[in-house]
Amino acid sequence: MERIRLGNTVFEGENNVYLLQGEETVLVDAGVATEPTREEFVDALASFGVTPADVDRVFLTHWHYDHAGLAG
């Protein structure tokens, strides 16, 4: 499991997203839906050899926009 720290200027300042790679590629939470955070998110995934298209499932711990915003 890899932790990805994403900035969050909209709510609390920082969020954690977790990447699990195995038979499926799974994200736990997805970060707030802002363009700077999306860019951070894509770059962080790339550092683990993953693109957003590679993600099979997203598990949301709860439905706040700073956790669910980039799930789509």
What's the distance, CA 37 to chain centroid?
9
- pLDDT attached to residue 68: 83
How many CB atoms within 10 Å of residue 12? Answer: 10
- pLDDT attached to residue 63: 82
Single pTM value for the model = 0.85
Question: What is the torsion angle, in degrees rounded to the nearest 10, for the CA atoms of residue 71, residue 29, residue 47 and residue 52?
Answer: -20
More confident residue, 36 or 8: 36
Burial 23-53 (b: 16+ CB within 10 A, else e): eebbbbbbbbbbeebbebbeebbeeeebeee
- pLDDT attached to residue 40: 93
Taking only the tens place, the pLDDT of each residue in 20-70 is: 999 999 999 988 888 998 999 999 999 999 999 999 999 999 887 777 888
